[in-house]
Structure 1
Amino acid sequence: MQGEKDSEYLQGSQGTKFSVGAFLYGAHNISLGAKTVIESDTILRGDMAKIKIGRHCVIKPHAVLRPSFKKSKSGSSFFPMTIGNNTSIGRGSVVEALKVGSCVDIGANCIIGKRAILSDCCKIDDGTVIPPDTVVPPFARMRGIPGHIYDELPETFEGMMHQATFEYIFEVSKRSD
């Protein structure tokens, strides 16, 4: 388990848990689904634009979720970020995507570029950099700098992500009760 053994969690509605060491800026713009876990030293930048995180998601320590923006002659526009259900974002990863689908596994120390779209059921290996405006297809496994498809995931990947997020959330619940 990657979480901190002595972390304290605050419990929100519907069983959502977030570490007292997490940084939620613009909390009124951050929507967390049921039984989602936000670990310590995680930064969620709801002060830039809305962030909506689905059910049974895991945001591991030191991850940063920052809504993407686009500069134009008239200024900068920030775009809301949406993350689907049963998704895991690894330790130290920086996510600036428009959309991260359901059952997505983002490894540790990844960079997901501005306005990227990660379809349902994809995996981003540790240390991968997904360039801005990239669309990652379903059941693709990505790695490298820049990230490229190197494998196809099995049809059972959705179930594997349900199980992985459930087990992580269960372990956090045991630690924090």
Structure 2
Amino acid sequence: MSRQSAGGRKAQKGEYIETDTGNKVSRRANITGTANITLGGKTVIQADAYLRGDLQRRTDGADAKAPATAINVGRYTFISQGCVIKPPSRISRGQVSYYPLRIGDNVFIGPGSTVSAASIGSHVHIGENSILQAGVIVKDCVKILPGSIVPANMVVPSFSVVGGQPARVVGELGEGWGVSPGGMSGGATTTSSGEWVEGGELRELIRMTR
């Protein structure tokens, strides 16, 4: 499931298994089709998250050249507890076809969210209990408010704030979004007191996950 191995080559005692590329996968995560899931490195998958790598595009007949990867996740991405991540689907000629889901770098997906988008850019913060329906395209540097339902095939432009049911653009992000005081980019982090800092550095949050 990573570029080296989904389950990792070195298991640590405790909640998470850590791969040789620094991915941390909860032992209580539900992951199917691991061979079809790619993690770029330094990514966290928390307990009760459900990744559906088994929902991949057919590779026989006309789809023989289709990519085998069902879910492709970049670096420094945090998939919170209870999330469901699955490739988007479309019905054609009475058959369900699945298409790859791509998630960029420095993406935070809040607890209880369901993602079936076509692609999510980098430096994206998805609030808890949000739903991204099939075919959604989220550009770079976007904040999706908690509880949002992003309708199928919506394209979310860069530097926008999205919220509502159905979701719509409700604001804009400043140019400093995703950049911490030290100049590093990210999606969210916590302070020493445990408070969330949106648009901050994800690396520290991932480092602290054990």
Consecutive unaligned residues of structure 2, counting only runs of 5 or more, are: 1-13, 57-69, 187-199
Aligned pair 1:23/2:23, yes or no?
A: no
> 1:166: which partner in 2?
203
> Is the Cα–Cα contact under 8 Å of residues 178 and 201 in structure 2 kept in the other structure?
no
Q: Give distance in 2, aligned partners of 1:21 and 1:52.
A: 21
Kindly name which structure, 1 or 2, has the bigger radius of gyration based on alpha carbons. Answer: 2
Aligned length: 167
In structure 2, which of residues 135, 158, 161 is the aligned counterpart of residue 141 of structure 1? 161
Consecutive unaligned residues of structure 1, counting only runs of 5 or more, are: 1-6
> 1:151: which partner in 2?
171
TM superposition shift of 1:74: 4.5
Aligned pair 1:75/2:95, yes or no?
A: yes
- The alignment's C-alpha RMSD in Å is 1.1
Q: Give distance in 1, aligned partners of 2:201 and 2:46.
A: 16
Which of 1 and 2 has higher RCO (CA within 8 Å, sep 6+)? Answer: 1
- The one-letter amino acid paired with 2:75 is R
The answer to which structure has the higher helix fraction is 1
Q: What's the CA shift string for 1:65-114, capped at 9, x where partnerless?
A: 01010001141110000000000101000000000100000010000010
Q: Give distance in 1, aligned partners of 2:175 and 2:22.
A: 29
Q: Give distance in 1, aligned partners of 2:140 and 2:30.
A: 27
SS in 2 for 1:13: coil
Q: Give distance in 2, aligned partners of 1:33 and 1:58.
A: 12
> 1:4: which partner in 2?
none
